Chains A and B, each alone.
Chain A
Amino acid sequence: MKRIYVNEEWCLGCHLCEYNCAYANSGIKDMVKALKGAEINPKIHIEESGKITYAVSCRHCEDPICVKSCISGALSKKDGIVCIDKNKCIGCFTCILVCPYGAIRPSDEHAVQKCELCINNSVEMPACVKGCPNKAIVYEER
């Protein structure tokens, strides 16, 4: 299946992926309205250490420990994608306790949030990938 892969060599640390993610998931059409002045809480985040920067989002593991650990049955794997049912999630943070990548974060609502490869955003490619100026984030089969 296609996944998001990140190459830290090419990452500029520009944080555009974070903005594109937040915009794509905001449900708001107007980018200015969605982002201006807003404190964004995206499902992908840039980590920086010295000169190195890279983006981290859900790895959609083959054998996802978050799904196995979820105490509310909110996390599941559908067609290879680790999905979250926000309706079921009660924000206990067990998934944050176990995710080896730090890819699941609290959200502004009661539930946690994570990358779902933009499947619900009616775009053909995840927003972070599409907007990455240096192709450090790609969406492909490996």
Chain B
Amino acid sequence: MSSLTPKELYNKLSQEAISHDEAHQEKTRVMVGTATCGVAAGALKIKADFIREVEAKNLQDEVDIVEVGCIGHCYAEPLAIIAKPGHPAICYGHLDDGLVHRLVEDFLAGDDPSYEYAMAALERNDVFPTFEDFPRGVYEQKLILEQCGFIDARDINSYIARDGYSALAMALEEKPGWILDEVKASNLRGRGGAGFPAGRKWEACIRSKGEEIYVICNADEGDPGAFMDRSILESDPHLVIEGMILCAFAVGARKGYLYIRAEYPRAVTHVQEAIDQARVKGLLGESILGTDFSFDLEIFQGSGAFVCGEATALVNSMEGKMGMPESRPPRLAQKGYRGKPTVLNNVKTFAYVPLIIRKGAKWFKEIGTPENPGTAVFSLVGKVVNTGLVEVPMGTTLRQLIYEVGDGLPNGKEFKAVQIGGPSGGCLPETALDVPIDFDSLQDAGAIMGSGGLVVMDEDDCMVSVARYFLEFTQHESCGKCTFCRLGTKHMLDILTGITKGEGDDETLNLLEELAEDVRDGSLCNLGRTAPNPVLTTLKYFRDEYKAHILEGRCPAKVCRDLLLYYIEPPKCSKLCNVCVGSCPTEAIFTRDDGLKEIDQEKCVKCDNCLKACPDEYNAVVKLSPPVLPSEKERKAK
């Protein structure tokens, strides 16, 4: 053991880190957001553009160009933050090579921050508003995303310089029981979906009194459209690692794993680098910060099946077995990885722990609601202006999240539903918009917190198709072990597919609802138990839409192809333009003797091309549902 206390050792690390960081700050820093969202929008090219332009101006000795993670404003990617001494750090969005050229010339070489292109400043100043000054700033509160996108994810000094690992140093001078007490007092609930209190889980594990205990971080994040865990691991990996070390100290574990899906190569790289750097600093491995506490971490790359995110399936898959869920009990806290007591928590759950230890359970409990303290992290997608990652206190209403933080729906469209909780979440209507976001209220409304995916839908979305779409995902991901999920979801999907074609009657809806309830109540694991949620909620809130399909052969949102046809309205057609004719891949559109265009319904494959092609000044192509031409309608009327 070292003669220095953990705090003394930490203070040394901290001073090193701060001077390292300050040395950096004397230079101008260009921080390009290169989390997966940024890369998808072309961030790596933007980074290359910056390097090229900076070299062209011969500024490479004065300017550092670094990669940072996601700051949550994904709608404005690619983006970069420029921190030039003498100016507030400023974020620029929607970058392209022209803009990069200007920023380098005017701001880096010259001294004009080009405010006309700036999104916001990152720190309070007298010249330019910050993100907190955005209307959404009132509703947002960043805890675990606070540093994402602002620190260098690939340099541990960047984390330590901002108090990183100070919670660990503090905790190591206390008894392990102190951490547990704080986490219990904070009422931190698991962010992997179910909201189980983390402290109780840890305590159960301690009670199992195992010789060997494991700590596992669940970073499988398989929900389509969810990317919060990935962002945190890519952008602030040490926060999660510190949380895991604190947990290990509390429960007495010596070994831990991060189960990261193999499709997240950047997260894997960043976390591996972080583990290596933490070891070098004596924060991981033998005798952490000079104490007799040892703990090490390893990455396990998951193979991809969605169900492997389920706790027991995850452990099976780590043990080399088929990734399939098991009945519980025994719980993982009793018999987990290799039959040993195991704590399994989500990425976000671990990320809160250092903050709770640093600032205290009381601080945490003051955020959010008493039963649901802290924040909720969502990926806001779909028909909403500001897509991206958001973090708001628990208890924020769906309305505030969609209209204030998300800035409402684009193109003046009408709100129809919000699907919350990933593919097994529920669809809630307008009337549920004042439901506060927390584990219990969402569950009561028929949705779930789930993984925190939030999809906004407007009048152009068909709720039957939406339910079908999500069920298709879960049905496809069913491991097939248990009867209800394997066969029940298959029959539900077949029934839904039939409804999108107008097949069925009132009885069909009852059967679908009954079956959905039975799959929910009878399945072995939560995949099957939650898979019916989209179906049950749409049946509850949008039953009329189902009925329109089967009783009238009509899809109100005009989405279900079997229930619509394309039609060119004669009074609107200009006769003179031929755009639609050229756009049709099957040559279904012809010019009539009177010069008007018409669609040969036999040949039409409903590809939507002509509707898009018809110039805005005419908008002559329309979709009709039920698929009856006006001429037929007239005939029938007679």
Do A and B interact? no
